[in-house]
Amino acid sequence: MSHINDTITALATPPGQGAIGIIRVSGPETISIVNELFKGKNLLEVASHTIHLGTIRNDQNEIIDEVLVSIFKGPHSYTKEDVIEISSHGSQYILQKVLSLLVTKGARLAKPGEFTQKAFLNGRFDLAQAEAVADLIASENASMQQTAMKQMRGGFSNEIKTLREQLVHFASMIELELDFAEEDVEFADRQGLIDLINKIQILIQSLIASFEYGNVIKNGVPTVIVGKPNAGKSTLLNALLNEEKAIVSDVAGTTRDFIEDQIYLDGIAFRFIDTAGIRETDDEVEIIGVRRTLEKMKQAGLVIYLFDLVNESIESIEEQLKGLLSSDVPFIIVGNKMDQADTFLQDRLIKENAVFISAKEKNNLEALKERLKSFIDIPTQSNVVVTNARHLQSLQQTDDALNRVIEGINMQMSNDLVAQDIRSALFHLGEITGEVTTDDLLENIFSKFCIGK
Ligand code: GDP
């Protein structure tokens, strides 16, 4: 009867096809405002967490669209206020029309991130979790999505909360002593206090260290392929990227998301930079010299240094190695053209732990990829990864304040000075989760969200 395969029991819509347009409404007047436009059940009388079919009509009683209305009564909603989601057929015209009707009935257009900001202000989650919502929306790969999801579900916040509790305990011991200052009693054993601070600092420092990994998850590793002209740089680049393109294109509909010049290994993006130069096969090392090539490489997080095992002289290899080994850029030495390699040159590079490939024949590229992956240190101390520069700064300020606390105790400074530094440490930890905020900070964070989130 038709070409439709009978075994298909569920149809899913690909992303971005605009099949559904959802308008979210939140606030104390939500239900009464939507009820004025909605013809169907009386929304003032329905239970929370129910869905209703009906129509949206203008004042002339013309039907704008047939919609589904989902109702979430506060505090059991995203913002903890009354929330309604109107699922329409999603044309821009319909969405604009429904929105303007809502506005005529008293709603106002939401600012970017305002729903999440309300959720934060109403205590649904803390600031770090709210920020994770933005990260989640922006996530482009499995690692970004998983880290953001963990943070949104409170993994990072719990870690900060534990640290805060320990510090509060510490502060209370010091402040207790302050109350009895005249009597010169010592409630807190000094060594015990220092041990506690050290323990807290180890945790904070492991969080700080995880930022490097977090940054890699978020922004990828800028990678550059360097080598003499004709070493095979563009052949290698194309071999790596074409393979990636093939993998990505396998999933229908995702080709447009493919980002030129990057590959994913274990969810980490290796972004090949300066590829225009490579593609023009410019005479990099020849023209600008080994030293300046090395300076240029410093912009990269990782360098793939390619040697031509067929055409290069041992002198040329030695000269380049000398420069490379004395640099502080992380690098992988690769011997290319293994299909025709000179064994003498190969033996020289074995000593440098080189990876041997044939870019043209696509041989041993897997070994190169394994080596690329081995440059990523996955933190083991804590499974929480800091991805946000604002959090990093607060953690560093907390750590600095704790250093001053230890210094104060060691130098037998008065308790009120020590207590002041503890309070400063608590203040900076509180900035992360939003116990301490300013309007500017909130504005800055939430303005980066998209409207409707
Ligand atoms: P680039 O100047 O470093 O970008 O080098 P190209 O990628 O343009 O390669 C220079 C030449 O080396 C081309 O003729 C390639 O076909 C050849 N070439 C690249 N890789 C290999 C390889 O693994 N084996 C062999 N035999 N030739 C290769």
CB 118 within 8 A of CB 79: yes
Cβ atoms within 10 Å, residue 296: 18
Q: How far is ligand 1, taken at its centre, from the CA of residue 327, in Å?
A: 26
Q: Considering only CA atoms, which of 225, 308, 306 is closest in space to residue 270? A: 225
Token duo for residue 281 = 């096969």
Residue 177 CB neighbour total at 10 angstroms: 19
Looking at ligand 1, which atom is closest to the CA of residue 225? 3
Using most ligand atoms within 8 A of CB, pick from 233, 234, 235 the residue to mutate for ligand 1: 235
Amino acid at 386: V
Q: Is 268 in the pocket of ligand 1 (CB under 6 A)?
A: no
Q: With a cut of 50, which residues of the chain have pLDDT below it?
A: 1-2, 4, 248-258, 281
Closest approach atom of ligand 1 to CA 228: 3
> Ligand 1 centroid vs 223 CA: distance in angstroms?
19
Q: Is 230 in the pocket of ligand 1 (CB under 6 A)?
A: yes
What residue owns the CA closest to ligand 1's atom 19? 232
How far does the centroid of ligand 1 lie from the alpha carbon of residue 257, in Å?
Answer: 29
Pocket probe for ligand 1: among 225, 226, 230, the residue whose CB has the most ligand atoms within 8 Å is: 230
> Is the CB of residue 116 below 6 angstroms from any atom belonging to ligand 1?
no
Gap from CA of 316 to ligand 1 centroid (Å): 18
Tens of pLDDT, residue by residue over 106-151, are 999 988 889 999 999 999 999 999 999 988 888 877 778 888 888 8
CB of 278 within 6 A of ligand 1: the answer is yes
Whole-number Å distance between alpha carbons of 99 and 93? 10
Q: Cβ distance 258 to 248 under 8 Å?
A: yes
Closest CA to 273 of 246, 253, 250, 303: 303
- Evaluate: CB of 311 within 6 angstroms of ligand 1: no
What per-residue confidence (pLDDT) applies to 267? 79
Q: What's at 285, amino acid-wise?
A: V
Render 121-187 in DSSP notation, one character per residue.
HTTSS-HHHHHHHHHHHH--SHHHHHHHHHHHTTHHHHHHHHHHHHHHHHHHHHHHHHHTGGGT---
How open is the CA angle 248-249-255, to the nearest 5 degrees?
90
Ligand 1 binding pocket includes 129 (Cβ within 6 Å): no
Residue 421's alpha-carbon distances to 172, 181, 224, 404, 429, in angstroms, are: 13, 18, 44, 7, 12
Is the distance from the beta carbon of residue 234 to the nearest atom of ligand 1 less than 6 Å?
A: yes
Instruction: Yes or no: say if 284 and 229 are a contact pair by the CB < 8 Å rule.
Output: yes
Sign for the pseudo-dihedral over CA of 272, 275, 281, 282: negative
Q: How far apart are the first and last CA of the chain?
A: 44
Distance 227 CA to ligand 1 centre (A): 11
Taking CA atoms only, the protein residue closest to ligand 1 atom 14 is: 230
DSSP state of 59: T
CA of 171 to the centre of ligand 1 (A): 65
> Is the CB of 335 inside a 6 Å radius of any atom of ligand 1?
no
DSSP result, 423-441: HHHHHHHHHHHTSS--HHH
Question: In angstroms, what is the span from residue 365 Cα to ligand 1's centroid?
Answer: 15
Query: Angle 352-353-359 (CA atoms, 0-180°, nearest 5)?
Result: 105
- Strands ordered across the beta sheet of 221-227: 262-265, 268-272, 221-227, 302-308, 331-336, 355-356
Determine whether the shortest distance from the Cβ of 283 to ligand 1 is under 6 A.
no
CB atoms within 10 A of CB 24: 17
Å from CA of 341 to ligand 1 middle? 12
| Dist CA 367 CA 236 (whole Å) | 13
* Any atom of ligand 1 within 6 Å of the Cβ of 225: no
Q: Ligand 1 mean position to 314 CA, how many Å?
A: 19
CB 419 within 8 A of CB 174: yes
Element (H, E) at 400: helix 389-410
pTM score: 0.68
Question: In Å, how far are 144, 160, 163, 438 from 154, measured between CA atoms?
Answer: 16, 10, 14, 22
C-beta 229 within 6 A of ligand 1: yes
Three-class DSSP category at 453: coil
> How distant, in Å, are the alpha carbons of 188, 196, 326 from that of 320?
60, 50, 10
CB-ligand 1 contact for 281 (6 Å cutoff):
yes
- Ligand 1 centroid to 388 CA: how many Å? 41
DSSP three-state, residue 209: helix
Shortest-distance Cα residue to atom 18 of ligand 1: 232
Ligand 1 centroid – CA 281 distance (Å): 10
Name which residue sits closest to atom 6 of ligand 1, judged by CA. 232
* One-letter amino acid for residue 215 of the chain: N
Q: What is the pLDDT of residue 137?
A: 87
Q: For residue 182, how far is the Cα from the chain centroid?
A: 52
Could you identify the atom of ligand 1 that is nearest to the CA of residue 279?
A: 4
Q: Identify the three-state secondary structure at position 58.
A: coil
Domains contained in the chain, CATH given: 3-125 (3.30.1360.120), 127-434 (3.40.50.300)
